[in-house]
Amino acid sequence: MEPTIACVVPCHNEEAAVGKVVRDLRSALPEADIYVYDNASTDRTVEVAREAGAIIRQEPHKGKGNVIRRAFADVDADALLIIDGDDTYDASRARDMVDLLFEGPYDQVVGARHETADGAYRAGHAVGNKVLSGAVRCLFGKEVTDMLSGYRVFSRRFVKSFPALSRQFETETEMTVHALNLRLPTAEIPVAYRTRPAGSQSKLRTYRDGWRILGVILDLARRERPSLVHTVVAGLLAVIALVLGVPVIVEFVRTGTVPRFPTAILAAAIMTIAALVLLVGYLLESLMHMRQEQSRLVHLTYPPPLRSPRRAVSGTADSLTTP
């Protein structure tokens, strides 16, 4: 039996590009169902996508994360591909990415971008991507080449075990961390990244979205690495308590008196708080492990991707498989 394939194209005011994206996907994956999720567009995005042969779905709540949440709930397929509707990604690589997913089998294949034209990355985006990828690497201990890529293919079991809590462009970060936390087999394949066509405008805001994604990483660290975060906070509190308390202890040893009694009480209180913060961190770590076990069990209720009967993958794929 042939595996089923679906493509999801989130769009907000992409009339200048979405038609070409749909046609390129249809050429690369003629057997796939192509869904264009219109995200409160005010131009002719819907008409252009429908004329190109896409299935139109509506998501009124603005934000890419909201579109992904809706699409992952509604669309059911053995392989689900997502690609932005702005024609900056090379849609012709869709076949290679889908075949790689089946041949692994992998739960996620990421299209790692390489710039093929000057200005494809807006000022600050390339640096921001490296900084944020480095932050995830430090927090979660895994190498990530292009954490913010919006060109990915997922297995059914990834899609159905992914909580999709983000609302905006942080959703790619959430996808990356989900795969790292559950140690899902993941691969990368290089894809061309080009400038937007004339008439298409980026919805990203370098600094606003960068701070938002950094906030998501810190929040994920708090939720997914609670013992680490609480240990750091407890350590800082303990240092403050020692700075305040050691002189009081030294003076007591030397004179037998405690003239700075309020300072002694404050130091003791801060050290007590540090101990409680550390204890809460370990309790949250236990709860996190329970939640990860539940996510893993949900993931295992679905079979792995079926092997594709089609041709082998062309090009180079840099595997980031995790056991």
To the nearest 10 degrees (0 to 180), the angle between helices 94-103 and 18-28 is 50
Domain boundaries, the chain: 7-224, 226-296
Locus of tokens 């992952």: 72
Confidence of residue 308 (pLDDT cuts 50, 70, 90): very low
Average pLDDT of every residue of the chain: 85
Residue 233 has pLDDT above 90, yes or no: yes
Residue 172's contacts (CB-CB under 8 Å, 6 or more residues apart) are 147, 148, 149, 150, 152
pTM of the entire predicted model = 0.77
Reported as a single tens digit per residue, the pLDDT across 3-17 is: 899 999 999 999 999
What's residue 32's pLDDT?
Answer: 95
Confidence of residue 314 (pLDDT cuts 50, 70, 90): very low
CATH class of the 7-224 domain in this structure: alpha beta
Q: CA 153, CA 100: separation in Å to the nearest integer?
A: 9
Check if the beta carbon of residue 172 is closer than 8 Å to that of residue 147: yes
Locus of tokens 């895994």: 142
What's residue 194's pLDDT?
Answer: 86
What's residue 261's pLDDT?
Answer: 87
Reported as a single tens digit per residue, the pLDDT across 124-176 is: 566 667 777 777 777 777 777 888 899 999 999 999 999 888 887 788 888 98
C-alpha distances (whole Å) from 243 to each of 50, 78, 249, 271 are: 67, 59, 11, 11
